[in-house]
Copies of this chain bind each other. A is one copy, B any other.
Amino acid sequence: MNINSVVNIISDQYSFLSDECKLELSNNAKILELEKNSTLVREGQFSDKTYFIIQGCARAYYLKDGKDVSDWFAFENDFISSINSFFLNVPSPHFIELLEDSVLLEISRSNIEKLEHLHPDFERLTKVVVVKTMLSQQERIVSMQFHSAEQKYENILASHPNINKRVPLTHIASFIGITLETLSRIRKKLNYI
């Protein structure tokens, strides 16, 4: 997997980039290969990077009163960052770690800002990424507001097929706001139907 094909994927799946912009992006991003359990961002750290998942998966999570609560999962072709830290320039309230050995594209805020000032294409690209994030959050809020524990599990399976094969159930449970035990009971019940 070379950086040019990654940039093509971003242009296709997010927002069109001219050949010139693709080249600029290639020159302002770098590929990272990291092992499972690597930590990309720690709580309290100022993080000015965003990561595009080329291969593998990652999660953002809070550690609150010793409890580990997952806040976001990212798989192939998703972006992940500490949005608070990235956009508000405050210490990150959460951690980001890899759940599998992964290949990532790392882009710094300063490079993005530089590119945004050079080409409207990049202003549009970041807008599209943020809009997609916002719409996913909206779906999640609706799921939390309307649905039972069982429906919320079905929702996450619908939006992330195979998540239950790639991500430990503890993380899925905390993401949808239920306990591991409740999730286990739901899974048992759903197997018999």
A141 touches B71 (CB 8 A): yes
Residues of the B chain whose Cβ atoms lie less than 8 Å from the Cβ of A177 = 144-145
- Is A172 engaged at the interface, CB distance under 8 Å to the other chain? no
A134 touches which of B62, B137, B142, B144 (Cβ 8 Å)? B137
A135 touches B87 (CB 8 A): yes
Which stretch (A24-32, A40-48, A121-129, A160-168) binds chain B? A121-129
- Is A23 engaged at the interface, CB distance under 8 Å to the other chain? no
Whole-angstrom distance between the alpha carbons of A174 and B69 in the complex? 24
B69 touches A138 (CB 8 A): no
- Is A157 engaged at the interface, CB distance under 8 Å to the other chain? no
A138 touches B137 (CB 8 A): yes
Binary interface encoding of chain A residues 111-146 relative to chain B, with 1 for a CB under 8 A from any of its CBs, else 0: 000001000100110110011011101101110111
- What are 25 A-B residue pairs whose CB atoms fall within 8 Å in the complex? A62-B142, A62-B146, A69-B146, A71-B141, A71-B142, A71-B145, A83-B135, A84-B138, A87-B131, A87-B135, A123-B123, A123-B124, A126-B127, A127-B127, A127-B130, A130-B131, A130-B134, A137-B137, A140-B141, A141-B141, A144-B144, A144-B145, A144-B177, A145-B174, A145-B177
